[in-house]
Amino acid sequence: MVYVRQRNLPALKEYKYSAVDRSLVSKYVLKPFYTNFVIKCFPMSMAPNLITLTGFSFVVLNFLTMLWYNPTLDQDCPSWVYYSWAIGLLLYQTFDAVDGAQARRTKQSGPLGELFDHGVDALNTTLEVLIFAASQNMGQTWKTVATLFASLLTFYVQTWDEYHTKTLTLGIVNGPVEGVLIVAAVFALTGYLGGAHIWQQSAFRALGVPASLGIPDFIYDLTFTEWYMVQGTIVLVFNTVESSVNVIRARRARGDRSRGALLGLVPFFSVWALIVTYLYLQPNILHHHLIPFALFAGLVNAYSVGQMITAHLTKMPFPYWNVLGLLLGFGVADSIGPVLLANYGVGWPSSLGDGVYQTAFVFLMLGTALGVYGSFVVDVIVTICDYLDIWCLTIKHPHDEAAAAKPNGIKSH
């Protein structure tokens, strides 16, 4: 399948990276550290995308240790596992930040770097949600699903914002900076305190707040994990509203209607309506096979995000269609038929049933998503590399400072 037409490729040469990072931590702490120390650890011959991919490998390693020690997301792990998750996440953040600096100093900046970086970030988001759920002993429950929804929505909205405003905007408090640091701190603290079970106790009771203060029971009994989810909900709403305002302003400034831009949020919520419906109808998948289903949901979002970034780079129309939604649609239709038949007498029997075949369907969806997203990634990367005469993970044309400084027509001997 062709994802980028030849007529759209000339727009790649008009690409100019634009980003605004308002984070004070990034400005005064992280960026000076990356610029003055970390970047010097990477050789000039190392491609920026290889740095990005190397950083992602630390998260993959963390995910594998999670599957080994806590596959049900509700068990305590050895302390060193939590420490390794914190280190792996910080290394990912560092490598993800340094790849841009490496691109600038090697003169390899370009649209492929932005596409590759966003694609890896999209995959990382899902893996980190599952690792975080394991660090909280959330289990295979609706809490983990809600955390996945919030994280994927934040990433989707940020990419949607960039498509319409042409600028990547990170607020004073944002996920890639403060969010990552907070999660890494939670991982380390979990290891230090002896396991994820500590987060499943009442926060007020654990902190010594007396119940006699008259705090309502439903608030007093909230666990640390539930308080984190409350905080995350507030941040999610704020970021979504802020991005929506940014998009509306940018569209109106260009004389475009804002209504069409807001429709870009429909694909995400449509898919998630199917996700929630399917899990509600199939509690066995929710409580026993949530990890492969979450990986599928993450790939669906990564595919949508990848399409948006590609459309942004090549100036194509906004991608509203995600073919992977058809799998969810079939799963919901197959699951809801027996419910309608039992309650209203009008429906149809399930072709998959509730047992092993339903589980097999989840892995079928995951495998199909891997194939579709993989074909998209390979096709787009190969197309861009061929057009721009570059390589993805190595530097095809190293920048020669001496040659660049010589006047045109003068050759060195």
DSSP 64-86: HHHHHH-TTS-S---HHHHHHHH
The CATH number for 14-210+217-264+286-319, chosen from 3.30.540.10, 2.40.40.20, 3.40.50.720, 1.20.120.1760, is 1.20.120.1760
What's the CA gap between 361 and 349, in Å, rounded?
Answer: 16
Q: How many CB atoms lie within 10 A of CB 91?
A: 18
Is pLDDT at 260 greater than 70 in this prediction? yes
Which pLDDT does position 76 carry in this prediction? 96
- For 289-298, give one letter per residue: b (16+ CB within 10 A) or e: bbbebbbbbb
Which pLDDT does position 288 carry in this prediction? 96
Tens digits of per-residue pLDDT, 97-138? 999 899 999 988 899 999 999 999 999 999 999 999 999 999
In the chain, domain spans = 14-210+217-264+286-319
Active site residues: 118
Is pLDDT at 175 greater than 90 in this prediction? no
Q: Which alpha helices (DSSP H) does 70-141 contain, by range?
A: 79-105, 111-135
Tens digits of per-residue pLDDT, 22-37? 889 998 999 999 999 9
Which pLDDT does position 383 carry in this prediction? 95
Which pLDDT does position 254 carry in this prediction? 80
At 56, which helix (H) or strand (E)? helix 48-69
Q: How many CB atoms lie within 10 A of CB 186?
A: 22
Q: What number is the average pLDDT over the span 231-259?
A: 85
Confidence of residue 411 (pLDDT cuts 50, 70, 90): very low
Position with higher pLDDT, 173 vs 7: 7
User: What is the overall mean pLDDT for the chain?
Assistant: 91
Nearest to 281 by CA among 370, 361, 226: 361
Q: What number is the average pLDDT over the span 360-377?
A: 97
Confidence of residue 5 (pLDDT cuts 50, 70, 90): confident
Residue type, 66: M
Which pLDDT does position 259 carry in this prediction? 72
- 149 CB-near residues (< 8 Å, 6+ apart): 272
Q: How many CB atoms lie within 10 A of CB 34?
A: 18
Q: Which alpha helices (DSSP H) does 136-179 contain, by range?
A: 142-165
Burial of residue 310 (CB within 10 Å: 0-12, 13-18, 19+) is buried
